[in-house]
Each structure stands twice: as C-alpha cells, then as structure tokens.
Structure 1
C-alpha cells in the first residue's frame, strides 16, 4: 500500500524529547518515529525544544499583547493563553493547507482541534488520552460527527461512551528497546511526581513492605514535591531524578517490582508496559486500565487507595516470574500492534 501523509498534532506546552515530560510526549515521539520507519510521511506539530530528529514544526507561544490587554480582568494564566493561541493558529493554518495530508491525527488534550475539526479539508482523528475533561467533552458535544476518535484503553473508551464512541487502539512500547533486566533490586516507581500518580501512597506502601523504593521522574508540581514527597525521602526511599529512557531501562530492569499507584483512573499507563517489557512484575492499584494490562502471572493489584494492600502486593509481586512479565509485554503491549491499529484507522479515514 502507498505511504500516508500524516499531520501529527502534539503537545504545544511540552517538548517531544528525552527525558520526556510525561507519557503523552513519549507516546507521540514513538508513534512519529515508528510511522516514519514504515515509510509514511509524518509532519509533527509540537512544542518548542523538541527532538531535532523529528523535524517538529514548532507551534507559536504566547502572542504579543498590549499592556491594555494584559491588564484586562479577563487575562488568563499565560500558559492557558499560549496553548489557546498555539492551537488556534495551527487549526487556521490546517484549514488552508490540510489537503497536503491524508489525515490529521490529534494527540493533544486541547479542545480547539476537536471544536474546529469541520474547518479542515481532511478528517481529524483524535486519540483520547484522558478521561473526559470539561473542555474536551464540551467540544465533542458541540461538534458531533466532525471528528473521529480512538481510545487508548477499554477503560477510557467506557468513560467516554455516551459522549462519543471510540475504537480502542492501545498504547505500546518498543520491546526491542525496553529489554529484560536482572531484577532483584529495590522496587521502582516512575512517572510524573504529581498527586494523581500516587507517589506518596507508593512510598508509604514500600515502607510498610520494608523494601525501600526508588522514584524516577520530573517534579512539575514543585510545592507538592517539597511539602509531601521530600519529607518522606531517606531510610531506603530515594528520588533518583528525571531520567532518559536509556537510564530508565537499566533502573526498571534492575528492580524486583514496579510500583504503580494511580490515584485517578489511569487511561493506559505506559509505565506498566515499560516495566513488563523489562521483565519486572507490577504491584499496583486496581484503577483505570491497569487490569487490562496485567494478569495474575505478571501483576498483583490492591484496592484503590489501600496502602496496606499495596504493601502486600509489593511482597507478592516480587515472587512472580519475570519471564511471564516479559511475555505479557510482547503479546499485548508492543508498539508494532499500536502502529498497526493507527494505520488501519488512517486508511479508513483517508
């Protein structure tokens, strides 16, 4: 089949580069890279400072504003206005140039691409990377039938049902890169250190299990980290910093268990797939998509928010077969399966 011309819309706020700010940026980088390796023509629209190898067309930042506009009572937070300006500019541009592409694939969490989909001369596919949010749900409701959708998990598709039907295209990881490690070491927790990811709950559970814990990830909420996480460090609990993927492979592969402790309905959980690919069993909360990714050969789940249960899960998961975890990743979490799914959706829409 002939190659496709894909416009891939990414985050305007965060760059697509290592160490990745979060799973959404890692996913978009991986998808663009894999599509190009399959011969497709991919144009990425994203944030400033992205990986030069992607050739990202940088979205504009905060517009120049007069002193009067800045002083107006309606002036929002600068990051909000910058994102609004970036996606408004992009959608107006794509309304003029969209025929250069076969499909526009929106991987942002912003409402404007969905709200303005009917201005494009080609179809817009939006991947739902999050549970319903007020802004995005409103845009979907006001522009019915103008966009197509995909959801990253069955759990996310269920949450959106009633607003939109979204076929599931599960996220995936490169199992040739995320390779098995020896295990046996201190459990690991990785991701953005923010309240909804549950780092405090993971630390408390690791303390009760007596295992220690290494946390790896950025700290975008400085106050949360300073007031809630930092006081719990020490005595076997360590924050090792914000690591690139090469260092994360080594860290996750060396751990006996990966602790995944979402305090929200995790839409997918790339950290779960990454851990399994490294042969590291998972102890986690039974929320969001985690039950879809795990079975009893590779993970142990506790009731959401149950720190004692999570401590017991850490102990139990350490006894699981690392080879079974790896098999689970290869069978259900591969990037090849993900890209196959998007290729099918693109050709349906092109």
Structure 2
C-alpha cells in the first residue's frame, strides 16, 4: 500500500465545513481533513457550498436540483429533506460510477442513511464514524447486510454500546482536537458555555446554575433554533449573562481559556462531548451533567460531574471545578483528546481495510 492515501471525507450537505462551525460535526470533519492533509494524504471533501479547510484539498460536488411544481406539495415535508436526499444519492452513485477508482478509502461522517445503505454499490472500502445514537433511519440502513469492505467506528465507548445490537462490536476512536489550536489559557472570573443554542444542549440549565453559583456566564455558539433563542435564551441575557455570538475557532479558544470553569449541560446522552475536550485543552476545568460519553473524557483531576438535570448540584460542581488545576486539565486533554491519537487510529483502520481487501482472492 502506498504511504499517501486518497481519502474521500463525506460531511454535511446542509452546513459548510468551515468557520464559524455550525456544530461539532462540522468542526470535527474540518480538523480531521486538515490533520490528514498535514500527514501527506490527499483529501477530497464532500460538504455544503462554502466548505473550506484552509488547506489543499479537492472538492466533491454537492448536487442540487429544482423540484418541479408537481412534486412541490404540502405532503413532501421540509424541502431540505428532499435536497439532502438528492445530494447523498448523487454522491453515492458517483462513487459507484464516475469516481469509482478515484479513492483508496471513503470516510463517511454524514448523519444520512444513504451512504450506509448504498455502501454495497461502491467498490472502495468505506468506514462510517457513528457520531450519534442509533437514529431510526441510520439503524435501518445498518441493519441491511453490507459490503464486507464497510466498517464502523464509534466516537465513544458509550455510543459503541448503543450501536452494538445492530452493528456488533465496533472500534472506538474518540474525537480528537488540534491541541495547538486550543492553547492553555490563564483563566479568569467567569464561567463559559459553548455549543449550539438548541434545546438538547440546555444552555438555560447553565444560566440557572451559574446564577446559583455566583458566576457571570459568557455564551458562544450558533443560534440554530430561533424560537428557543428568542423565548428561552434572549430574555435571560444581561450584565451577568452575555451572548458573545457565533465565533471563529480562535475566538472561542480565547473565550474558553479565559474562563474559570466551563459548563456543559446536555439534555440528551451526548455521544462524545467535543466542547469538553476543547475546554480541557484550554486548561479550563469542566462542570457537567455526566451523560453519554462525557464521563470517558472527564476525570476527578479536571472536572466534576453531576446527574442529569441537577442544576443545584451543577452549581456546586462549578464552584469545586473552578478550584482544580489548570495544568491537570490540559494534561488530561493531551492524554485523551489529541488529534494525533485520533488520526493514528483512523489510519490504522484504513490500512486494515485495505489489507483485508487485498488479501481476498480475485
């Protein structure tokens, strides 16, 4: 096998893989693409218009189309669903046809079911990273017998266990971050919350906990749910609760590194918890609801976990976490959150897939 691989990364057809990031998935694909390119591999990126990793890469076009008046009915559902379906149908047909010899490995990070369901039509080994619990359409696709060259990886042991009944035992490759892009900060006197401003991320619980703990709270992230932001978040803003906006990565790192404590408040079982890794890299201890994969990242030296929805407990956790060592937080990130380890693991999986394919008699 050649040292340099041709790798197709399938991301979101709806949200650009570029800064400022729409969410953790886009941030993850952006960092992975850059890290693979830095290792000398040729990365081709499938992502919504405007995707850019600020590094050499090829583009796999996201195909769009215009619905005819006859197809455009009240029964078709949201138009973005149709356009997303068309985008993934088109790219998988291209990978099975026009692009069939263009790549050594396809790495699927999309949350759409078609790349999994159509994997048997593609001659190229494909690995899908499972970034979510077994959502209905994804689980249905995974339950169909697949191309033997198709593999899975989970972003946490917790997520791997969720997928085990349908996908069997699968390797775990925790999401990694470029530690140099998240330098250790000096800390400060405020708490910070970062992420998508949507109900399942629970910033309102962070606002309540910060008030009980006596910390001013600074918030950053995209306001993806207009109604939630308008009715739940905006009325709570003021001198002690400041919305900094949807920031570029370096601005987020500066904000997080200047905080005494990072607050993480998922209202669902977080598959990984990228904002936790980012906070620890900045040397900022974490107070969080201990849901999903978060307990796999946080230990007693770098954070305090409390049961889900325990706002009073979270306030106490904030006070305690703020006293923890910033050096220990950074050291924890270096041990378990490095993109170097993540890329090593993915490259090993790529090599295993290619070696297995080459070992099969023609």
Q: Give the TM-score category using the shorter length.
A: over 0.9
| Paired position in structure 2 for 1:16 | 17
2:318 matched to 1:314?
A: yes
Instruction: State whether residues 302 and 310 of structure 1, in contact with CA within 8 Å, keep that contact through their aligned partners in structure 2.
Output: yes
**Contact 1:153-1:267 within 8 A present in 2 as well:** yes
Judge conservation of contact 2:189–2:215 (CA < 8 Å) in 1: no
1:239 maps to 2:249: no
Q: Which residue among 171, 177, 181 is the counterpart of 2:181?
A: 177
- Determine which of 70, 76, 84 is the counterpart of 1:68: 70
Per-residue CA shift, 1:153-204, capped at 9, x if unaligned? 1111011111113200110111111101110231100000001111011110
State whether residues 5 and 102 of structure 1, in contact with CA within 8 Å, keep that contact through their aligned partners in structure 2. yes
Structure 2: gaps (5+ residues): 355-362
- 1:130 corresponds in structure 2 to 132
Q: Look up the match of 2:88.
A: 87
C-alpha distance in 2, partners of 1:331/1:245?
22
1:212 counterpart = 2:216 = yes
Q: Does 2:61 correspond to 1:58?
A: yes
Q: Distance in 1 between matches of 2:122 and 2:331?
A: 42
| Per-residue deviation, residues 17-38 of structure 1 (Å, max 9, x unmatched) | 1111011001101111110111
Structure 1 distance, partners of 2:177, 2:53, is: 21
Q: Which residue of 1 aligns with 2:157?
A: 154
- Would the aligned equivalents of 1:114 and 1:143 in 2 still touch at CA under 8 Å? no
What does 1:213-292 correspond to in 2, within 5 Å?
213-292=217-296
CA contact (8 A) 2:119 2:147 kept: no
* 1:252 and 1:258 in contact (8 A); partners too: yes
Length, aligned pairs only: 348
Partner of 2:358: none
Q: Secondary structure at the match of 1:127?
A: strand
Render the CA deviation track for 1:106-131: whole Å, top value 9, x for unaligned.
01000000000000011110000011
Alignment partners' CA distance in 2, 1:285 and 1:145: 39
Q: For the aligned residues, what is the CA RMSD?
A: 1.2
Which residue is equivalent to 2:33? 32
Question: For residues 342 and 261 of structure 2, what CA distance do their matches in structure 1 show?
Answer: 25
Q: Distance in 1 between matches of 2:153 and 2:239?
A: 44
**Structure 2 CA distance for aligned equivalents of residues 74 and 349 of structure 1:** 42
Structure-1 separation of matches of 2:101 and 2:287: 47
Question: What does the per-residue CA deviation read over 1:123-146, in whole Å, with 9 as the maximum and x for residues that have no partner?
Answer: 110000011100100010123455
Q: Secondary structure at the match of 1:259?
A: strand
Match of 1:188 in 2: 192
Structure 1, unpaired ranges of 5+: none
CA distance in structure 1 between the aligned counterparts of 2:41 and 2:71, rounded to whole angstroms: 43
Check conservation: 2:130, 2:153, Cα contact below 8 A.
Answer: yes
Provide the rounded CA distance (Å) in 1 between the counterparts of 2:58 and 2:26. 15
- Residue in 1 that maps onto 2:106: 104
**CA-CA distance at 1:99 after TM superposition:** 2.0
